[in-house]
A and B are shown apart, each in its own frame.
Chain A
């Protein structure tokens, strides 16, 4: 298999990387090592760690940071941006529809079973239309590239996509360590993201809110692995970071406990999952949520971002229908391609996948984080057979995709630069407007040949540049 290398075409350096190439060539090896150590010290010092409690060892792990940036030129980015925004519009239209009249089901475009039997479908919010009809306010769309103009969507994240703090901090650290690079290259900024996020949240305040809306971020607490990100965003947005116990419901509103008594909360950017939001409505044993929150939400006293139930749009089974949503709701042709996907509950697909396991990637429908998947070409015969047995017990729980020739980006390894596979997660904001900062989180599989970029599986991160014209 040949892979698209984003920096080199044969031995020629592609245009967007021209200046970076000089930078690398003139960099002495000991300087590089010094800078790498400096970057790590900065991350640890600022506290950008990925806290993993309960597994022993260092509770504060660092996600490996690669200093070699990934670069997009303006025209490439424009195309991606249009595709991402289109997809975000379609996903929200779909959510509005399935909690309303479900026209797309009536029209026979999506099987009813996939929606109404989906665990993420919340019957508790049927008929509730959130402000501006937006259910998913921050959509992280995972993209991979296979050729110069070929991008595929790997998955959509409509609930609470994480990682945006890395996008911001990677940039911050690169600017701090290599200011010269930023003077020599014209790179679009990303640091407006927190302001845009705040504006997005304020724009979906409930109708009952008459003053400037009070927004908060709801975190499961400081033992959560993404706690750093929660506090980082709250800080940059200038909003309170609350835990469930800081909030309470009184009458038709939600309040937070402050040193000056109760204060009303209008918009909650929650970083906890639906089942934990409200013990009176969902899991009764949840201590993370706020009793009575859903009643206030349903009567329009508070906005919850993303709206409860938004997860039904980012299921791996629903994923295959997103291009259909674009056509159905927007009357447009999808600008971003889906990866061809075989759904194993269909007989034809099942037969094909079982005959070609060695060439395919098989994923659990509800799995995430790179767990519970088979990468056929990278697996031994025994591993494949073991996975085959798992599939046979519950075919409906799996989908399969071809092994994509993920593009590579030069990455610093012990010997110097070497190509490593990358993906991209841009963060699309949906409120009164749909906005996207030029950039995103590039994850890189640091192990040679590996196609799995998840941080739990040895993945790292890179700064992602969009060059201005």
Chain B
């Protein structure tokens, strides 16, 4: 497979997952605007979500005020925001267009329909749009693409690159959303265990479409320890760090097996190592170490693995 093709498949996966994350963020953002603005609490929440996605400054500069219209515009439509749904779907579709020969017609079809549909929505007057439907449309399209990939793509190296992109992006997104707690909680330690604290954890769960799954898995009250456990160490949780990283490792193993000894496996080795270290943690250790410090370590390691993928496979051995 051409290195360029592999790179585009990898980034197609990443951008699709990122679009998905943006759509969930939009849902959370809109919920926050529905709440009364008490003592800077909820507004802060929104700001910290933006902080986590790395786009708080851009939003503040361009829009300033937190309103439903601004959030919608920024998270969904704004092409200056590289993480907006529109930006991500456009980039994913462009990557798909470049490597059409490596996609089945069903996958291309789903991707292209997603793009055309968003373009149609873009031309619709904003006051006739519902935020909830924007989130639904996005997740429905990204799910269709994902489904088409699973149902029709050959289980070859291209498949591994796409899923590697998905896995690494998801690990990164979950870690960043969890890190939100750092920005929100550290300055106001008296909130811990209060109603506001619980609500903030709920927001995180909701942002990961995981609040129902959480109840299935743990039942009972939402506590910081359980939510963190669910999103970091629970192997059943589809977006947990451990699940996402495990998928990345699995795909890297697939590539290593397929390509044999002649191709370097630094990315695989590194991912294995990080996974082993992750498995050695329990949630108390993580809190003792400091959640933020732990997440910073993890996000850096994901970046390293992504860089090694590039070196191992995407430069074409020259």
Q: By the criterion CB–CB under 8 Å, are B316 and A222 in contact?
A: no
| A455 shortest CB reach to chain B, Å | 20
Q: Which residues of B contact A192 (CB under 8 A)?
A: none
Q: Which residues of B contact A248 (CB under 8 A)?
A: 318
Q: By the criterion CB–CB under 8 Å, are A45 and B157 in contact?
A: no
Q: Which residues of B contact A262 (CB under 8 A)?
A: 316-318
| A38 shortest CB reach to chain B, Å | 15
| B159 shortest CB reach to chain A, Å | 13
Bound form: Cα–Cα A136–B176 in Å: 56
Q: Which residues of A contact B317 (CB under 8 A)?
A: 257-258, 260-262
Bound form: Cα–Cα A234–B5 in Å: 13
Known contacts A257-B318, A261-B263; A44 and B116 CB within 8 A of each other: yes
A222, A234, A243, A261 pick with most chain B CB within 10 angstroms: A261
B2, B97, B255, B259 pick with most chain A CB within 10 angstroms: B2
Q: By the criterion CB–CB under 8 Å, are A222 and B98 in contact?
A: yes
Q: Which residues of A contact B315 (CB under 8 A)?
A: 257
Known contacts A44-B116, A47-B108, A248-B318; A256 and B100 CB within 8 A of each other: no
Bound form: Cα–Cα A257–B263 in Å: 13
A240 within 8 A of B: yes
B280 within 8 A of A: no
B4, B94, B101 pick with most chain A CB within 10 angstroms: B101
Interface residues of B in 286-318 (CB under 8 A from A): 313-318
Q: Which residues of B contact A386 (CB under 8 A)?
A: none
Q: By the criterion CB–CB under 8 Å, are A259 and B97 in contact?
A: no
Bound form: Cα–Cα A258–B2 in Å: 4
Question: Which of these, A45, A222, A231, A260, contacts B113 with CB under 8 Å?
Answer: A45
Q: Which residues of B contact A259 (CB under 8 A)?
A: 1-3, 6, 157, 161, 255, 259, 263, 313-314, 316
Residue of A nearest to B116 (CB): A44
Residue of B nearest to A231 (CB): B100
Q: Which residues of A contact B259 (CB under 8 A)?
A: 259-260
B109 within 8 A of A: yes
B133 within 8 A of A: no
Q: Which residues of B contact A245 (CB under 8 A)?
A: 4
B262 within 8 A of A: yes
Bound form: Cα–Cα A256–B4 in Å: 10
**A-contact 0/1 string along B1-22, CB 8 Å cutoff:** 1111110000000000000000
Size bin of chain A's contact surface: 20 to 34
Q: By the criterion CB–CB under 8 Å, are A45 and B3 in contact?
A: no
Q: Which residues of A contact B83 (CB under 8 A)?
A: none
Main secondary structure of the interface of B (DSSP, over half): helix
Known contacts A45-B109, A45-B116, A262-B318; A243 and B4 CB within 8 A of each other: yes
| A104 shortest CB reach to chain B, Å | 41
Q: By the criterion CB–CB under 8 Å, are A260 and B2 in contact?
A: no
Size bin of chain B's contact surface: 20 to 34
Q: By the criterion CB–CB under 8 Å, are B97 and A257 in contact?
A: no
A141 within 8 A of B: no
| A197 shortest CB reach to chain B, Å | 15
B112 within 8 A of A: yes
**A-contact 0/1 string along B182-205, CB 8 Å cutoff:** 000000000000000000000000
Residue of B nearest to A235 (CB): B101
Q: Which residues of A contact B313 (CB under 8 A)?
A: 259
A246 within 8 A of B: yes
Q: Which residues of B contact A45 (CB under 8 A)?
A: 109, 112-113, 116
Bound form: Cα–Cα A241–B103 in Å: 13
Residue of B nearest to A58 (CB): B119
Bound form: Cα–Cα A46–B317 in Å: 34
Q: Which residues of A contact B318 (CB under 8 A)?
A: 248, 255, 257, 262
Q: Which residues of A contact B263 (CB under 8 A)?
A: 259-261
**A-contact 0/1 string along B85-121, CB 8 Å cutoff:** 0000000001001101100010011001100100000
Q: Which residues of A contact B255 (CB under 8 A)?
A: 259
A374 within 8 A of B: no
A400 within 8 A of B: no
Residue of A nearest to B313 (CB): A259
Interface residues of A in 237-285 (CB under 8 A from B): 240-243, 245-246, 248, 255-262
**A-contact 0/1 string along B150-164, CB 8 Å cutoff:** 000000010001000
| B252 shortest CB reach to chain A, Å | 12
| B165 shortest CB reach to chain A, Å | 14
**B-contact 0/1 string along A222-234, CB 8 Å cutoff:** 1000010001101
Beyond contacts A45-B109, A231-B101, A242-B4: 8 other A-B pairs, Cβ-Cβ < 8 A, are A243-B4, A245-B4, A257-B317, A259-B259, A259-B263, A260-B259, A261-B262, A262-B318
7 tightest A-B CB contacts, nearest first: A257-B316, A261-B317, A231-B100, A259-B313, A235-B101, A257-B3, A234-B101
8 A-B pairs (CB sep. < 8 Å): A45-B116, A46-B112, A235-B100, A242-B4, A255-B318, A257-B318, A258-B3, A259-B157
